[in-house]
């Protein structure tokens, strides 16, 4: 499967436009990000989130059948925090034609337990998505320091 990475830029008129940054080939059984395990595996193999020294947040844009439309880098923070706002997420989701989104970020400490801030941001993004009919279907936290562990906030009933 081909995974495309996108970003947003301002055009000559100051409007926000979608720009393809790069594409990578990824061997997978299907073209769907339909389970937390498949999403975690993609993020481990392609972005090596478990090796990053700072928290990084990505958004996966999906169509209605969970086919991955693209991956967006959202924010890079510090060793234990990152800035995320629903506005920046949903600008990208709308421009990509997403029917649903998944948030993914890493914890360099290796501990995948969500912080209070992680839960707060997840709730804000979920509420915004309900308003514009692009639901947040999961928020996955990847462990750091070579750790293949992850937690799905949906599976943990925290979404």
Residue 146: the pLDDT is 63
Give the three-state DSSP class for 5: strand
Cα-flanking dihedrals φ and ψ of residue 110, to 5°?
95, -20
Q: How many residues in total does the chain contain?
A: 159
Q: What's the whole-number mean pLDDT along residues 108-128?
A: 93
Query: Would you say 32 and 99 are in contact if contact means Cβ atoms under 8 Å apart?
Result: no
Work out the average pLDDT over 137-144. Answer: 92
Averaging pLDDT over each range in 37-41, 50-54, 116-120, which range is the top one?
Answer: 116-120
pLDDT surpasses 70 at 116: yes
Cα–Cα nearest to 72, from 91, 52, 90, 92: 92
Handedness of CA 106, 102, 4, 22 (dihedral sign): negative
For the chain, the first-to-last Cα distance in angstroms comes to 28
Question: Is 93's pLDDT higher than 90?
Answer: yes
Which residues make beta-bridge pairs with 119?
Answer: none
pLDDT for the residue numbered 147: 64
pLDDT class for 28, splitting at 50, 70, 90? low
Q: Are 108 and 144 in contact (CB under 8 A)?
A: yes
Is the pLDDT at 7 greater than 60, yes or no? yes
Residue 72 pairs with which residues in a beta bridge?
6, 59
Query: Would you state the pLDDT for residue 92?
Result: 93
Which pLDDT score is estimated for 51? Answer: 84
Indicate the pLDDT class of residue 30, thresholds 50, 70 and 90.
Answer: low
pLDDT at 72 over 80: yes
Q: Residue 113: is its pLDDT beyond 90?
A: yes
């Amino acid at each position: 499967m081909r995974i495309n990475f996108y970003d947003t830029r301002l055009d000559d008129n100051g409007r926000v436009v979608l720009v393809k940054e790069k594409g990578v080939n990824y061997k997978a059984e299907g073209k769907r990000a339909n389970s937390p395990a498949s999403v975690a595996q993609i993020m481990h193999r392609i972005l090596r989130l478990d090796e990053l020294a700072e928290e990084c947040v990505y958004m996966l844009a999906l169509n209605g059948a969970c086919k991955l439309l693209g991956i967006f880098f959202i924010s890079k923070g510090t060793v234990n925090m990152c800035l995320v706002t629903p506005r920046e997420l949903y600008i990208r989701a709308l421009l990509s034609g997403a029917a649903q989104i998944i948030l993914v970020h890493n914890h360099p400490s290796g501990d995948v337990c969500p912080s209070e801030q992680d839960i707060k941001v997840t709730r804000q993004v979920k509420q915004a998505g309900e308003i514009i009919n692009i639901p947040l279907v999961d928020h996955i936290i990847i462990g750091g320091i070579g750790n293949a562990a992850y937690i799905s906030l949906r599976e943990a009933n925290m979404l």
